[in-house]
Amino acid sequence: MVVERFHETADFLRSKGVAKPATGIILGTGLGKLVDQMDVHLTLDYKDIPHFPVSTVEFHHGKLIYGELEGKKVLGMRGRFHYYEGYTLQEVTFPVRVMKLLGIQRLLISNAGGAMNPAFVNGSLMMLDDHINLFPGSPLIGKNHDALGPRFPDMSEPYSRELRDRLARIASSHAINLNRGVYAGVPGPNLETPAEYRYLRRIGADVVGMSTIPEVIVANHMGLPCVAISVITDECDPDNLKPIVLEEVLKMAAIGEDDLIVLFRELVREL
């Protein structure tokens, strides 16, 4: 990790007109439609941003989008970098470092996930109250840069209580069913075996997915409040497990996406 790179990328984005975004938003798999509600000032392909990770393995179609949502300046990532694509955890979290240097005061994250909790149905939402990191490491391994955050960052409140309270209130005032629970983050890209889903449930996870935790660790390292929502795309009952098809995952993401958009939009509006 080279701190100068974060600054160089932030300077580049400022030179393109990115000025003091208040909120950063990461939109997960099949969850990019929130961008349609933005007044977009600037769109950049990740591949055109200096120091953004480039994969030799898989072409990435992600875009960084700067503009206004409900009159508030936001910096959005449409698509993220995943560990399973071959990026290191430092590369996966590079954009979060840059967004913080650009001045965001909070980070909103979405992802697609499978539910071990039998009460969570496909297409519904779960707000993360907590998580279990099952990635093989932490993005903070290596030399610590004290200017960015402490060597041993506290993780006693990984997801901001204030932002969660606000989302819960917004959900109830819009009659949106917002489940709450614990997210387990796994490297992927393979899905889980029945025994693995059983194990994840036993260790206290309600939902499992292949993202989010590295970004949340880095956000906490920098003292950046965050909040995250999973859209449930498959029901993971180990005793009745059906093969998971990507098309089905995307279809369920699209079903949950409308509620997700309302929650994030209203949260941005009141902040």
Residue ranges binding ligand HPA (CB under 6 A): 112-114, 186, 191-192, 208-210, 233-234, 236, 249
With beta carbons less than 8 A apart as the criterion, state whether 110 and 231 touch: yes
DSSP codes of every residue in 148-212: T--SS---SSSS-HHHHHHHHHHHHHTT--EEEEEEEE---SS---HHHHHHHHHTT-SEEESSS
Q: CB nearer to ligand HPA: give 77 or 236.
A: 236
| CB neighbour list of residue 188: distance below 8 Å, 6 or more residues apart | 82, 83, 84, 210
Q: CB nearer to ligand HPA: give 90 or 230.
A: 230
CB of 165 to ligand HPA, least distance (A): 27
CB of 180 to ligand HPA, least distance (A): 18
**What's the token pair of residue 200?**
């994840």
CB of 253 to ligand HPA, least distance (A): 9
| 109 vs 229: CA distance, rounded Å | 6
Q: CB nearer to ligand HPA: give 107 or 213.
A: 213
CB of 113 to ligand HPA, least distance (A): 5
**What's the token pair of residue 57?**
């393995």
CB of 151 to ligand HPA, least distance (A): 31
Residue nearest to ligand HPA (CB): 114
| 45 vs 64: CA distance, rounded Å | 6
Q: CB nearer to ligand HPA: give 143 or 202.
A: 202
Q: CB nearer to ligand HPA: give 186 or 228.
A: 186
The per-type count for the chain, helices as H runs and strands as E runs, is 7, 9
- R_g over Cα of the chain: 18
CB of 212 to ligand HPA, least distance (A): 11
CB of 30 to ligand HPA, least distance (A): 10
Q: CB nearer to ligand HPA: give 31 or 99.
A: 31
Q: Fill in the amino acid letter for 156.
A: S
Q: CB nearer to ligand HPA: give 38 or 236.
A: 236
Residue spans of alpha helices (H) in 55-160: 89-92, 94-101
